[in-house]
Chains A and B, each alone.
Chain A
Amino acid sequence: MAEETKRFYYYANGVYLDSCMKFPELTPAYPSSEKTVVKIEFGQTPEKLENLKAKGVRFQAAPNEFLLPIDDVATFWVKNGDHIIIQPEPRVNESEIRVFFLASAMGALAHQRRQFPLHASAIMYNGKAILFSGDSGVGKSTLAGLFHKKGYQVITDDISIIDKEKNTGQLLIEPGYIQLKLWEDTMNSLHIGKKEGVLLRPGLKKYGYPISSIPKKPLEIQAIYALSVYPGKEILVRPLEGWEKFRHIKKRTFRQKLVDPMGYTEPHYRLLEDICQSLPAFQLQRPFEEGYTTFVEFVENHFQTNQ
Chain B
Amino acid sequence: MADKIKPGSIIRRNSEIIGSDIDGETVMMSVANGRYYGINQVGSSIWHLLHEPMQLESIYAALQEEYEIDPETCEREVLVFLEDLMKNNIIIVD
User: Chain A interface (Cβ within 8 Å of chain B)?
Assistant: 241-243, 245-247, 250, 259-260, 265-266, 269-270, 273, 276-277
Minimum Cβ distance to chain B for residue A194 (Å): 43
Minimum Cβ distance to chain B for residue A277 (Å): 6
A242 with B25, Cβ < 8 A, contacts A250-B36, A269-B18 known: yes
- Give the residues in chain A near B27, CB-CB below 8 Å: 242-243, 246, 273, 276
Question: Which 5 A-B pairs give the minimum distances between C-beta atoms?
Answer: A242-B25, A243-B38, A241-B23, A260-B34, A242-B23
Query: CA separation between A102 and B25, bound complex, in Å?
Result: 36
Contact indicator A277/B34 (Cβ below 8 Å): no
- Give the residues in chain B near A246, CB-CB below 8 Å: 20, 22, 27, 36, 38
Minimum Cβ distance to chain A for residue B13 (Å): 16
> What 14 additional pairs, Cβ within 8 angstroms, besides A243-B25, A246-B36, A273-B18?
A241-B22, A241-B25, A242-B22, A242-B25, A242-B38, A246-B20, A246-B22, A246-B38, A260-B33, A265-B31, A266-B31, A269-B36, A270-B18, A276-B27
- Give the residues in chain A near B24, CB-CB below 8 Å: 241-242
Residue of A nearest to B40 (CB): A243
Tally of chain B residues near chain A (CB < 8 A)? 14
User: Chain B interface (Cβ within 8 Å of chain A)?
Assistant: 18, 20-25, 27, 29, 31, 33-34, 36, 38
Minimum Cβ distance to chain A for residue B30 (Å): 8
A245 with B23, Cβ < 8 A, contacts A250-B36, A266-B18, A269-B18 known: yes
Contact indicator B22/A245 (Cβ below 8 Å): yes
Contact indicator B23/A259 (Cβ below 8 Å): no
Contact indicator A277/B20 (Cβ below 8 Å): yes
Contact indicator B31/A269 (Cβ below 8 Å): yes
Minimum Cβ distance to chain A for residue B19 (Å): 10
- Give the residues in chain B near A269, CB-CB below 8 Å: 18, 29, 31, 36
